[in-house]
Amino acid sequence: MKDLGLIQVYTGNGKGKTTASLGLAFRASGHGFKICMLQFMKDCPDYGEVKAAQHLPGFVVIPVGRHDFVDLADPDPIDVELAKKGWEKAKTVIDSGSYDIVILDEINVAMACGLIAAADVVAYLTAVRRNVEIILTGRYAPPEIIAVAHLVTDMQEVKHPYQNGVAARQGIDY
């Protein structure tokens, strides 16, 4: 029996938010759950999770961003457009009933920098309880998102290899 419908948030300045959601997806896949991850502000076919999802039955990754860094202080109009289209796609995916878990990867950042209105996300998430577990990841989770979530994990950086000049590593960081 699937007891779903909660809202989970993985936020904070530490590494591991997307990784935590992928661990949850991996576990759920083992139980036959259907999972969709929409990646806001990302579009890279070389990411490990995009490649791995192809080998897990019922796990789909949909990029809804572009393969460029977003200037959080002054987002490009294309980033705003892609995020808004991505949010519309996310609602369609959630409402489809095709998935048990929907991961909205980096949506917290998209809300924090104004690409998507947090109030719109809160209104949608709280309008009706769905039989879908919804996971929101990314730094800067808005307080109103934290307020409506059932589970919030705040990843805090204590030490990171970046501090010593180690670049992002394939298979570890992406």
Other Cβ atoms less than 10 A from the Cβ of 122: the count is: 18
Alpha carbon separation from 98 to 15, 95, 110 (Å, rounded): 30, 8, 25
Alpha carbon separation from 174 to 101, 151, 171 (Å, rounded): 21, 25, 6
Domain ranges in the chain are 7-164
Give one word for 146, left, alpha or beta, with left for phi > 0 and alpha for psi -120 to 50. Answer: alpha
Please name the amino acid found at residue 81: E
Give strand ranges (E) for 31-94: 35-39, 59-63
State residue 71's pLDDT score: 85
CATH class for domain 7-164? alpha beta
Per residue in 93-145, pLDDT (tens digit) is 999 999 999 999 999 999 999 999 999 999 999 998 899 999 999 999 999 99
What's the predicted TM-score (pTM) here?
Answer: 0.91
